[in-house]
Amino acid sequence: MTAPLRVGLIGAGWMGHVHAQSWAANAPRGEITAVFDTSDDRARALVDARTNGRARVYKDLGGLLADAEIDAVDICLPHHLHADAIVRAASAGKHALCEKPICLTFEELRAIRRAVDDAGITFMTAHNNLFALPLIEARRMLGDGTLGRVMHIRSNEVGRNSGMRQRRSPVAHLPAAEATYAWRLDPVRMGGAELLDTGYHGAYRLLGLAASASGDFEDRPIEVVAMLGNYYMEELRPGEDTASVLVRFASGVQGVLVTSWAFGDVAPAWQFEVAGHLGSLAGNVTRLVHAAHGWSSPAERVWQTAHSETYTREVTHFLDVLREDAAPLASWQHAARTLQLIRAAYRSAEERRIIPIPEDPATL
């Protein structure tokens, strides 16, 4: 049997805990053997809670990256720190999984690409919603041509962020350090607002569906127009809490992304809807509905699964990519296109016009 992948976890906040649970669920294929957080208390608390006290705690990133007994890092840091951590990890020869968004600027995107290529390491971004079972099945059906030629894809990532409004910690008993929401209110460290943070999930889901619908043709967004607004999260102003984004793909497919922290607490019926010449699909975390034109009633599949399992399957996929040469679903290319789409949407809202999107994903 192959030895477990030894993982250094960087960032012991909310997502640090979620990822640590996901690594534990993937044992014995991988395990967290080291942790670094600028809050030593948080690093130690995570080690105790999630690794039975076994993982080593480092006091700086350089120390963790110099550890020869670490094969890969898992980066769960605030947004403005992603690029530097990925580049340093690659330069130290560590494979890297990094939370979304991959980084904040096109310059950072290019630096990550260079560092990953030069080091020959495996890099993946944490696009956990790609691992929702109904979405995986929908993408398989689109690839098989079930809907015929696809015309329209809609991706919804909406909810009400009352937790952030009330400054509630999403992790129980997290030792005191900067609150999970504090850096999100700083546009420099956040790099945007709701569209860049939660809207990022809806954006990569839209791109993933379009890629599956286009078969061998490498589809990509070619035009974007967006409207932003702030309806609930006053503390984010002038940043948005809601965005509506229209996307035209090279294939002719129209895409719509709706994302919000201001909508109701009740989850929307669908996270995605796809319309094609032969019928339509709609899905969420547990359900997928397919209706071909002419059917008297739709076919429905239901999975016994939960959103939390998307993080577990994301780690499983990272291990499959590393250990079994699986093609990474959340590659640099996929992440770069996602950031490009979001930056184009911000520019569209600012300049109040349609923004053309260049072929090179690290430019706009």
Ligand X SMILES: NC(=O)c1ccc[n+]([C@@H]2O[C@H](COP(=O)([O-])OP(=O)(O)OC[C@H]3O[C@@H](n4cnc5c(N)ncnc54)[C@H](O)[C@@H]3O)[C@@H](O)[C@H]2O)c1
Minimum separation from the CB atom of position 11 to ligand X (A): 4
Question: Closest by alpha carbon to 220, among 81, 358, 38, 70?
Answer: 358
Is 14 an interacting residue with respect to ligand X (CB under 6 A)?
yes
Contacts of 115-121 with CB under 8 Å at 24 or more apart are 115/86, 115/87, 115/90, 115/91, 116/86, 116/90, 116/332, 118/90, 118/91, 119/90, 119/91, 119/93, 121/89, 121/90, 121/93, 121/94, 121/95, 121/96
Which tokens belong to 82? 């992603």
Is 76 an interacting residue with respect to ligand X (CB under 6 A)?
yes
Is 15 an interacting residue with respect to ligand X (CB under 6 A)?
yes
Strand partners, 227: 244
DSSP state letter for 97:
E
Binding segment for ligand X (CB under 6 A), chosen from 30-38, 204-212, 295-303, 331-339, is 30-38
Going 130 to 136 to 141 to 147, the CA torsion angle's sign is: negative
Minimum separation from the CB atom of position 84 to ligand X (A): 9
3-class DSSP state for residue 136? helix
Q: Nearer Cβ to ligand X, position 13 or 279?
A: 13
Tell me the residue number closest to ligand X, measured at CB. 13
Binding segment for ligand X (CB under 6 A), chosen from 10-18, 20-28, 252-260, 293-301, is 10-18
Minimum separation from the CB atom of position 75 to ligand X (A): 8
Q: Which of 6, 95, 100, 337 binds ligand X (CB under 6 A)?
A: 100
Tell me, residue by residue from 117 to 136, as one string, x for binding to ligand X by CB under 6 A and - for no binding: ---------x-x--------
Q: Nearer Cβ to ligand X, position 128 or 230?
A: 128
Binding segment for ligand X (CB under 6 A), chosen from 5-13, 207-215, 241-249, 344-352, is 5-13
Applying the rule CB under 6 A, the residues between 139 and 178 that interact with ligand X are: 177-178
**Element (DSSP H or E) covering residue 150:** strand 150-158
Minimum separation from the CB atom of position 253 to ligand X (A): 26
Say how many CA atoms lie within 13 Å of 48 toward its Cβ: 9
Minimum separation from the CB atom of position 241 to ligand X (A): 15
Q: Which of 79, 94, 317, 334 binds ligand X (CB under 6 A)?
A: 79
Is 81 an interacting residue with respect to ligand X (CB under 6 A)?
yes
Is 37 an interacting residue with respect to ligand X (CB under 6 A)?
yes
Minimum separation from the CB atom of position 14 to ligand X (A): 4
Q: Are 22 and 79 in contact (CB under 8 A)?
A: no
Is 244 an interacting residue with respect to ligand X (CB under 6 A)?
no
In terms of C-beta density within 10 A (0-12 exposed, 13-18 middle, 19 or more buried), how is residue 306 classed? exposed
Is 180 an interacting residue with respect to ligand X (CB under 6 A)?
yes
Q: Are 136 and 310 in contact (CB under 8 A)?
A: no
The backbone torsions φ and ψ at residue 98, rounded to the nearest 5 degrees and listed phi first, read -130, 140
Is 13 an interacting residue with respect to ligand X (CB under 6 A)?
yes
Q: Which of 99, 194, 240, 273 binds ligand X (CB under 6 A)?
A: 99
Is 38 an interacting residue with respect to ligand X (CB under 6 A)?
yes
Tell the residue number behind the tokens 């919804």, with chain if given: 156
Count of positions on this chain that bind ligand X (CB under 6 A): 24
Minimum separation from the CB atom of position 17 to ligand X (A): 8
The backbone torsions φ and ψ at residue 17, rounded to the nearest 5 degrees and listed phi first, read -70, -40
Applying the rule CB under 6 A, the residues between 190 and 219 that interact with ligand X are: 197
d(CA 4, CA 8): 13
In the sheet that 299-302 helps form, which strands lie side by side, from edge to edge?
Answer: 299-302, 287-292, 279-283, 272-276, 150-158, 254-260, 242-249, 221-229, 355-356
Tell the residue number behind the tokens 């850096």, with chain if given: 183
Residue numbers of the site for ligand X (CB under 6 A)? 11-16, 36-39, 42, 76-79, 81, 99-100, 126, 128, 177-178, 180, 197
